Amino acid sequence: MTRRAVPAPPTPARPDLGAAAPGLADLAPDQRVRRLELTVTRRLDGLLHGRYRGLLPGPGSEAAGSREYRPGEDEVRRMDWAVTARTTVPHVREVDADRELTTWMVVDASASMEYGTAALDKRELAVAAVACVGFLTAGVGNRLGAQVLAPDGLRRFPARSGRTHLLGLLRALLGAPRTDDGPDPRAAGPAGARADAAPGLADGLDGLHRVATGRGLVVVVSDFLDELPEDPDGPPPPWAAALRRLAVRHQVLAVEVTDPRELELPDVGLITLVDPESGRHREVWTGDPALRERFARAAAEQRDQVRRTLRRAGATHLELRTDRDWCADVVRHVHEQRRLATAPAGARGGAA
């Protein structure tokens, strides 16, 4: 199996947001998009607007101070005459590069992302992460593109600017068909076999590497369990090399989406575990404390393996859980990244 088998309980109840407000899963795609937009703009707006730094050096228009003039290197038209007159030493203006930002999203919408036992399932939480990045990086000239890994193939959205393009991407993600709506995935082949049409995470990253020629921001939203080896000390998964290639040119943010029932089993008696990718079933008696302990230990080792792989690939790691406030997690992540960006080099090295 390429992914950890997870419990398959009945469809979990979605808590209502109020007496007259239905849950997010009960709303139409357009209504869910509007609710996500309101959540982002009310709680997170202002955290990222105009606060990213360009990855390419070059002239800009935002003043960033002055420094002494270097003959033969600096242009006379950049002279800062006010500072020069005040100090009697020639100075030139320094400016920050103000370049348009291109953000690329790789969104995992495979069968395992449909699982969830809290207010949101993993796919809905992935859509919330896409909405968060999309609304916060939206700006004049900024562009957003995406590659969506669905069970029926790889769907590409070219990098375009504008709110209409972002809303169209979110509607497509929210309205994408699920495996429950189609034929049983077990009919595609024998147990353990993977459908030919289902692309892997490495496929999406390789495809993005071919189209994202300019430097920008790459955000990968997944549970990162695709082809993860069972041996924690074994070779890295195929997507690790593709992610490392992207990190050479781009700033990469890996958003890991998890559910609490993937980390520990509850004591609920006899349950059926299902691998959502292959359809393999296994009945497990959860009343055994030793079994629950082994499951929790294996799940923790698996998540540690994902974290190590992402760190070695040069990606920044953000973990979102279906049973936590994803807005609060995003806020904490942004504050931590700002703190690291403004800390001295020695402090950053020690923190790492």
Dump pLDDT digits (tens) for 70-85. Answer: 887 777 888 889 889 9
Whole-model pTM: value is 0.72
What angle in degrees, to the nearest 10, is found between the helix axes of 238-249 and 289-312?
40
Higher pLDDT, 166 or 277: 166
Two structure tokens written together for 115: 């699982």
Q: pLDDT tens digits for 19-58?
A: 334 456 656 667 777 777 777 777 776 554 444 444 334 4
Indicate the SS3 state at residue 27. coil
**Geometric angle at alpha carbon 299, from 255 and 208, rounded to 5°:** 30
Residue 307: count other Cβ atoms within 10 Å of its Cβ.
Answer: 15
Q: Concatenate the DSSP letters of all residues of 94-128 into one string.
A: EEE-----EEEEEEE-SGGGG--SSSS-HHHHHHH
Percent of the chain with pLDDT over 70: 75
Q: Does residue 345 have a pLDDT over 70? A: no
The confidence score (pLDDT) of residue 94 equals 75
Q: Does residue 14 have a pLDDT over 50? A: no
d(CA 135, CA 138): 5
Closest CA to 306 of 213, 172, 176, 201: 201
Q: pLDDT tens digits for 258-285?
A: 999 888 888 888 888 877 777 788 888 9
- The answer to whether residues 276 and 311 touch, using CB atoms and an 8 Å cutoff, is no
- What is the topology classification, in CATH, of domain 100-351? Rossmann fold (3.40.50)
d(CA 68, CA 294): 64
Two structure tokens written together for 207: 């495809």
Closest CA to 8 of 122, 124, 109, 116: 116
Cα dihedral 242/244/248/249 (nearest 10): 40
Domain assignments of the chain as residue spans, ordered by start: 62-96, 100-351
Across all residues in the chain, what is the average pLDDT? 77
At 207, give phi and psi (nearest 5°). -65, -40
